[in-house]
Amino acid sequence: MLSFAEFTEILEWSDWDSPPEQMRIEIPFQTLLDRVRELLNGLTAAPWPPASDDLIAAGALHDKATQLYVSVPAIVNVMLNYKICVEHGLPLHPTVYYELKEARKYRISHSLGEIQRASELYWKSIEVARACYRLEPGAQIALTEYAQRLPPSVREFIYTGIQDHYTWLGSRPSLLRELAKKVKAAYDPQIVVAAAHGSIMPALILSEVLDIPLYFIRFSMFKRSDEEPILSLSDQAWLFDYRGKHALLYDEDVAGGRTLELFLSRMTPLFGEVRTASSIRHAGASIHPDFAGRTWWD
């Protein structure tokens, strides 16, 4: 059975300068969950290490690992979108990610029970996604039980993924291990709080390497046109246990720096001490994260 370390070792075989075709996804969420379960079955049953002269087997193993890597973030992505829609009175459209400012137009009323269920499913999604990346023996069962709890509207939602160059570049496991090493040498975070959606894939790995809890707050100024971090009462309730503690605020790609600046400003009051981290810091960024895996000159 493959371990988390072996899974990430296989991923290192990838071309990290070019996002793989597997990142291009457009399928119903339930179908994606079924795919993840099949990939887990295939990877946990695969012999390790593969025979050095069996290039076909090695290629098939790498393909499965890559598919799993790019598919698992959808577990969190879709549920975060669902939570945002329910909490802010937005419709859950089969194919559309609504902007928060559109809530003024729809003002749909959801019951307290549905709001609570959305929050609980979102919290569970992070736990299930991490179990899938760890290739835990019980991950398939946890994924099945999780899928059974989903409302039909979520199961039918069409998840779409694109070949995002910087997200892929910032998700390289060895880069995240190097980033974690820098963090551990100078700081002792008790939780990673990441700006979603772009950071989901790398933050899942980073939190595993750091071996600490993980939480996502939706904040994407470019992909989702968010004006500020979407921090709800349910988010504050979940994070309440970390008041006074050390948090690591993470965004995988710091280009201009405005997103991380606003994220830092909004999230800092919730914790005792915060530091910032990114996989990639562009040389021209206005903010320098406390920890960066790589400085990018372009």
Q: What is the pLDDT of residues 47-93, one digit of tens each?
A: 888 877 788 888 999 999 999 999 999 999 999 999 998 998 887 77
Token pair 């970390």: residue: 242
Question: Model confidence over 147-188: pLDDT tens digits?
Answer: 999 999 999 999 999 999 999 999 999 999 999 999 999 999
Question: Model confidence over 185-195: pLDDT tens digits?
Answer: 999 999 999 99
How high is the pLDDT of residue 239? 97
How high is the pLDDT of residue 100? 67
The SS3 call for residue 151 is coil
Closest CA to 192 of 111, 252, 258: 252
Reported confidence tier of residue 106, pLDDT bands at 50, 70, 90: low
Q: Is the pLDDT of residue 108 over 80?
A: no
- Measured CA to CA, the distance from residue 74 to residue 160 in angstroms comes to 9
Question: Model confidence over 2-28: pLDDT tens digits?
Answer: 899 999 999 999 999 999 999 999 999
pLDDT > 90: percent of the chain = 71
Q: Is the pLDDT of residue 136 over 60?
A: yes
Mean pLDDT score across all residues of the chain: 91
At 189, phi and psi to the nearest 5?
-65, 145
Question: Model confidence over 211-248: pLDDT tens digits?
Answer: 999 999 998 766 666 778 889 999 999 999 999 999 99
Question: Model confidence over 265-283: pLDDT tens digits?
Answer: 999 999 999 999 999 998 8
Question: Model confidence over 117-127: pLDDT tens digits?
Answer: 999 999 999 99
Please state, in angstroms and as integers, the Cα–Cα distance from residue 255 to each residue in 49, 62, 298, following that order: 38, 30, 10
Which CATH architecture describes the domain 165-296?
3-Layer(aba) Sandwich (3.40)
Taking residues 285-297, what's their average pLDDT? 87
Q: Give me the residue spans of the domains in the chain.
A: 4-79+109-161, 165-296
Taking residues 93-110, what's their average pLDDT? 67
Q: What own/partner pairs with CB < 8 Å and gap ≥ 24 does 123-131 have? A: 123/238, 124/79, 124/149, 125/75, 125/76, 125/78, 125/79, 125/80, 126/76, 126/214, 126/215, 126/216, 128/75, 129/72, 129/73, 129/75, 129/76, 129/200, 129/204, 130/204, 130/207, 130/208, 130/214
How far is Cα of residue 59 from the mean position of the Cα atoms in its chain?
25
Cα angle vertex 13, ends 32, 289, to 5°? 80
What letter represents residue 189's amino acid?
P
Task: Tell me which of 197 and 244 has the higher pLDDT.
Answer: 244
Residue 1 neighbours by CB under 8 Å, 6+ apart: 44, 45, 48, 135, 137
The SS3 call for residue 274 is strand
Reported confidence tier of residue 46, pLDDT bands at 50, 70, 90: confident
